Amino acid sequence: MTWKTRLLAAVLAVGAMPALAQTTLRIVPHSDLSTLDPIQTTARITVNHGNMIFDTLYAWDEDLNVRPQMVGESKRSSDGLSLTMTLRPGLKFHDGSPVRSADVVASVKRWMVRDVAGRKLAEFTAEIKAVDDNTIAIALKQPAGWVEFALGASAGTIPIIMREKEAATDPAKGVTEMVGSGPFKFVASEWKPGSRVVYAKNTDYVPRSEVPSGLSGGKVVKVDRAEWHVIPDPATAVNALVQGEVDLLDTTPNDFIPQLSRNKDIVIRPIDKGGYGALRPNFLHPPFNNEKARQAVAMLFDQKDFLRASVGNDEKWWRTCHAYFFCGTPFGTEAGSEPYRTPDKAKAKQLLAEAGYKGEKIVILSPTSSQSISSLAEVAADQLRSIGVNVDLQGMEWNAMLARRSKKDAPEAGGWHIAPTTISNGLVFHPLINFASDTACGGRNWPGWPCDEEAEKLKVQFLAAVDPAEQKRLAEALHKRLWTFVPYWLTGQFQAPYAWRANVQGVVNASVIVFWNITKG
């Protein structure tokens, strides 16, 4: 064979070789994705989706400290009344257009309408404007050292940066065209609600140079695709992980933790600082529009019953905690909760009667597609029945519960009295971002719609404080007021481990699961 013949054969052989296989990370999410727009909901599944395809000006690291993300340089004035931010080079949307200051201003203004921290920032802001295509200026009415912290929120209603045309959408209406500037692209053509969500690596994304930590640092995508495979049945999801059909479980059912811990092919560990369970009362309708009724239930509930039912008997994974701002954090005081730490059924029954309860049906929503959350509803139902409450426990799928929870109708007309959930530490550890304790009047807060001017006044004083000792004093005063008002019932603090195949490496510690930096061997 001549050299020309050998060369031709080699060329033909190369041409006949199959294309290199794509690396696909397969994840079982904790629930189905129904809402695409992260500005519309605090639901963790939408937060995870938003973090895939959008970016934020700042971001929280794994210790919940704020770091610059889309911002390259920033400067505060000496009087603390202005903040100037310059976008870092190389930012562009998935359609190839550059990220401009106009996109940022429109996005931040839209977020300010929907988010608890955003609304507070709006109250403190005199003006936010685009200085040029790369520079944004915020003028404040009074100093606020937490502006960057708010703009970096990694959970809740996240302050994502959209294109100006999407950001101009009415904040009450959801955006459906998902064009971000983040490390992944949403593959809309492959989205199958109830079954699969697909993301492709954004090859044009320019990551930061820092080591990834939480949602800060370099978002380096090391797989070609990330696929969310919706598997509602926990046993089926666990089996898929064990068999290698999927690579990672977004939520690990507690009943399966011992089994998975013994499997050498599975890694199981926490990636965040945990969360807590919460039961939200509806403040619009009797009996929980009465403060005494809410106090009665707080006096009835025993956190240990909820924790054993939702997390399991192993106390390694849980603890009782009466801190609205999360135990173990700078503002994690339990002040004001003293009367409620030991259950008192007789006192609870007395307070409920004083609130005017006369045996009316109490509607409790229960998301049957989530064992850990539905168990909170079941325990609440049992404990309320123990003091003679007429309970109507209504089971439904998670997204159906979210839709039902948003209704302000009377419970007998399709509304509700009590709705359960779990909330990440990253959503509640600071008075500014704790959306569940937002008691601003006007009905724009989290479903349940509490209104308490006294608590809001204390929160504003806290946010205006500069001295750390004064901040701590005001946080404690706010917490005492919350335990009088009772915006929701705490059911205990837990640590939730994640599980993934041993060939998956680089999972980042963060307040929510992220999928950059991950390799799959």
3-state SS string for 26-47: EEECCCCCCCCCCCCCCCHHHH
Residue 108 CA to residue 92 CA, distance in Å, equals: 17
Residue with token string 């031709």: 8
Position 9 scores a pLDDT of 43
What digits encode the pLDDT tens for the residues 426-479? 889 999 999 999 999 999 899 999 999 999 999 999 999 989 999 999 999 999
Percent of the chain with pLDDT over 90: 86
pLDDT for 390 beyond 70: yes
The pLDDT of 80-90, averaged and rounded, is 96
- What SS3 class is residue 297? helix
Distance of alpha carbon 450 from the chain centroid:
20
Q: What structural domains does the chain harbor? A: 37-174 (3.90.76.10), 275-494 (3.10.105.10)
Give me 321's structure tokens.
Answer: 């905690």
Position 426 scores a pLDDT of 87
Which of 33, 44, 401 has its CA nearest to residue 194? 33
Position 8 scores a pLDDT of 36
Q: How many CB atoms lie within 10 A of CB 258?
A: 11
Give me 10's structure tokens.
Answer: 């080699």
Lowest mean pLDDT, pick from 256-260, 289-293, 333-337: 256-260
468 prior amide bond cis, ω within 30: no
Mean pLDDT of the chain: 93
Lowest mean pLDDT, pick from 6-10, 20-24, 148-152, 359-363: 6-10
Q: How many CB atoms lie within 10 A of CB 314?
A: 11
Instruction: List the 135-140 sheet strands across, edge first.
Output: 71-76, 82-87, 135-140, 125-132
Percent of the chain with pLDDT over 70: 96
Lowest mean pLDDT, pick from 30-34, 160-164, 200-204, 482-486: 30-34
The pLDDT of 338-350, averaged and rounded, is 96
pLDDT for 11 beyond 60: no
pLDDT for 270 beyond 80: yes
The pLDDT of 94-107, averaged and rounded, is 98
pLDDT for 305 beyond 60: yes
Lowest mean pLDDT, pick from 16-30, 93-107, 158-172, 377-391: 16-30
pLDDT for 76 beyond 80: yes
The pLDDT of 364-368, averaged and rounded, is 96
Q: What is the pTM of this model?
A: 0.85
The pLDDT of 209-234, averaged and rounded, is 96
Position 20 scores a pLDDT of 52
Position 15 scores a pLDDT of 43
Position 5 scores a pLDDT of 42
Give me 470's structure tokens.
Answer: 């004064």
The pLDDT of 172-184, averaged and rounded, is 96
The pLDDT of 285-297, averaged and rounded, is 98
Where b means 16+ CB within 10 Å and e means fewer, 2-29 reads eeeeeeeeeeeeeeeeeeeeeeebbbbb
- What SS3 class is residue 132? strand
- What SS3 class is residue 179? coil
Helices (H), 204-278: 234-242, 257-261
- What SS3 class is residue 119? helix
The pLDDT of 83-112, averaged and rounded, is 98
Residue 145 CA to residue 143 CA, distance in Å, equals: 6
Residue 107 CA to residue 473 CA, distance in Å, equals: 34
Which of 249, 243, 245 has its CA nearest to residue 263? 243
Position 4 scores a pLDDT of 40
Give me 495's structure tokens.
Answer: 């640590």
Confidence of residue 355 (pLDDT cuts 50, 70, 90): very high
What digits encode the pLDDT tens for the residues 316-330? 899 999 999 999 999
